[in-house]
Amino acid sequence: AQSVTQLDSHVSVSEGTPVLLRCNYSSSYSPSLFWYVQHPNKGLQLLLKYTSAATLVKGINGFEAEFKKSETSFHLTKPSAHMSDAAEYFCVVSVLNTGFQKLVFGTGTRLLVSP
Amino acid sequence: GAGVSQSPRYKVAKRGQDVALRCDPISGHVSLFWYQQALGQGPEFLTYFQNEAQLDKSGLPSDRFFAERPEGSVSTLKIQRTQQEDSAVYLCASSQLQGGYSNQPQHFGDGTRLSIL
């Protein structure tokens, strides 16, 4: 079965330092992978998606992720954190299910950014 | 507005009451999804509509949960005889095409936070 595992429940960084949010996936075929962000009391916003094109995917707000098949990983990075990046981040795999693609979410990583 | 709209934003109900949660998807979007997000967890799939047809309801926790989209636009998620374990954020998402396309994004509403006392 397709699934994702987010390795850290919380990540704390200082403003201006790099961000690394880790995600490993399990899939029996080439997966479609996404990162979504959720700010408090808000819905989910798509940051970026991987669908078997380039392995390095650039998203919004300076985020990017690299698909590494050999490591079954899809880690999210950003060179320099901003205070506004503080939020919950979800790694997501898309699963083909009876004619539609169902999103399966990881448990989330809360990113804390300190001044 | 241009996004997915959900109402109410917050709902408090007593155990045993029925509740109805509304979702207005982006105009013209074919696919509509409902998710349940328990506190501290990622969203979990509940059900999927393609236009007015409910093609998958395998994620609905029990027969107390019912969803409809009668005209292929607005959808309502109804929970009968609510229980405390139904307390969660209920998220609605829509996407433009039929659900079989893996590279199309799902656009999420801000959710309805349901609290059962």
Closest CA to A88 of A49, A55, A42, A39: A39
- Is the pLDDT score of B99 beyond 80? no
- Is the pLDDT score of A74 beyond 80? yes
Q: Give me the pLDDT at residue B103, please.
A: 63
Kind of pairing between the strands at A10-14 and A109-114: parallel
User: Tokens at residue A28, please?
Assistant: 């029996």
- To 5 degrees, how large is the angle CA B32–CA A102–CA B105? 60
Q: Give me the pLDDT at residue A100, please.
A: 79
Does B56 contact A at CB distance below 8 Å?
A: yes
Does B51 contact A at CB distance below 8 Å?
A: no
Do the Cβ atoms of A3 and A105 come closer than 8 Å?
no
- Is the pLDDT score of A32 beyond 80? yes
Do the Cβ atoms of A33 and A92 come closer than 8 Å?
yes
Contact: B42, A51; criterion CB under 8 Å: no
Residue type, A88: E
- Is the pLDDT score of A28 beyond 70? yes
Q: Give me the pLDDT at residue A48, please.
A: 94
Considering only alpha carbons, which residue of chain B is nearest residue A104? B44
Q: Give me the pLDDT at residue B100, please.
A: 57
My answer on whether omega of the bond before B8 falls inside 30° of 0, hence cis, is yes
User: Tokens at residue B32, please?
Assistant: 């509509």
Query: Phi and psi for B3 in degrees, rounded to 5?
Result: -100, -175
Kind of pairing between the strands at A87-97 and A100-105: antiparallel
Distance separating alpha carbons of residues A74 and A52, to the nearest angstrom: 12
Distance separating alpha carbons of residues A68 and A73, to the nearest angstrom: 5
Q: Give me the pLDDT at residue B101, please.
A: 61
Distance separating alpha carbons of residues A17 and B35, to the nearest angstrom: 34
- Is the pLDDT score of B9 beyond 80? yes
Higher pLDDT, B1 or B75: B75
Query: Judging by beta carbons within 10 Å of its beta carbon (0-12, 13-18, 19+), is residue B2 exposed, middle or buried?
Result: exposed
Contact: A41, B110; criterion CB under 8 Å: yes
Residues of chain A contacting B50 with CB distance shorter than 8 Å: 100
The chain-wide mean pLDDT, for chain B, equals 92
The C-alpha of A112 sits at a distance from chain B's nearest C-alpha, in angstroms, of 15
Q: Which residues contact residue B28 at a Cβ distance below 8 angstroms, ignoring those fewer than 6 apart? A: B96
Distance separating alpha carbons of residues A4 and A106, to the nearest angstrom: 5
Distance separating alpha carbons of residues B93 and B11, to the nearest angstrom: 19
Q: Give me the pLDDT at residue A40, please.
A: 87
Q: Please, which pLDDT band fits residue B104 given cuts at 50, 70 and 90?
A: confident
Does B55 contact A at CB distance below 8 Å?
A: yes
Does B99 contact A at CB distance below 8 Å?
A: yes
